[in-house]
Amino acid sequence: MLAVPKVLLLPMNTEHDSVSLREITRDTVRPVCRIEVAPEQRHFVASTAVSIAEAHFSPEAWFRAIYSGEQPVGFVMLSVLPEKPEYAVWRFLIGSEHQAKGYGSAAMRLVIDHVRSLGAAELLLSYVPGEGEPRAFYEKLGFEPTGAVEDGEIVMALRL
């Protein structure tokens, strides 16, 4: 398994505390599992509880809680396959009450920096198309559609 830092930190230029990516522990798993997207977004992403369960049975999974200061506000899970090499955002969510505060962009910048530090040439992700889709959010971060569609999801890539 890859040796990675337990906490990745990014100071924010807002009134909010720093955003960090932290390992999920016995003490933090319940609060992290309570993070939910808005009801109208639930068809876009699996819950944190399902994602954490899947991660424990997937050797390629790298997952972290997204924190603002000491408050868990989101979740991210990557598929890391350096032998291919392939690096992809498998799950990404910010809790409904924490959206539109800059946490998602700050957290994704940390993810991008982490993947870049692994020597990756690109970072992939996919999203479910439809009203309220996250395409514009990912495009602002530099992701571009690849033209591929997998399991009905639009695939995007960011060159690193």
Q: Is residue 27 in a domain?
A: yes
pLDDT number for residue 15: 44
Q: Residue 60's domain spans which residues?
A: 7-120
pLDDT, tens digit, for every residue of 124-140? 999 999 998 999 999 99
pLDDT in tens, 36-78: 999 999 988 999 999 999 999 999 999 999 999 999 999 999 9
Report d(CA 34, CA 143) in Å as an integer.
29
The answer to whether residue 90 is domain-embedded is yes
Give all strands of the β-sheet with 7-10 in edge-to-edge order: 7-10, 19-22, 61-68, 71-81, 86-94, 122-127, 153-159, 144-150
- Give yes or no for a cis peptide into 11 (omega within 30° of 0): no
Q: How many Å apart are CA 49 and CA 93, to the nearest integer? A: 12
146 is a domain residue: no
**Would residue 1 count as lying in a domain?**
no
Residue 12 lies in a domain: yes
Q: Is residue 54 part of a domain?
A: yes
pLDDT in tens, 93-104: 999 999 999 999
In a domain, 19, yes or no: yes
Is 97 inside any structural domain? yes
Q: What is the CATH number of the domain that holds 115?
A: 3.40.630.30
**Domain total for the chain?**
1
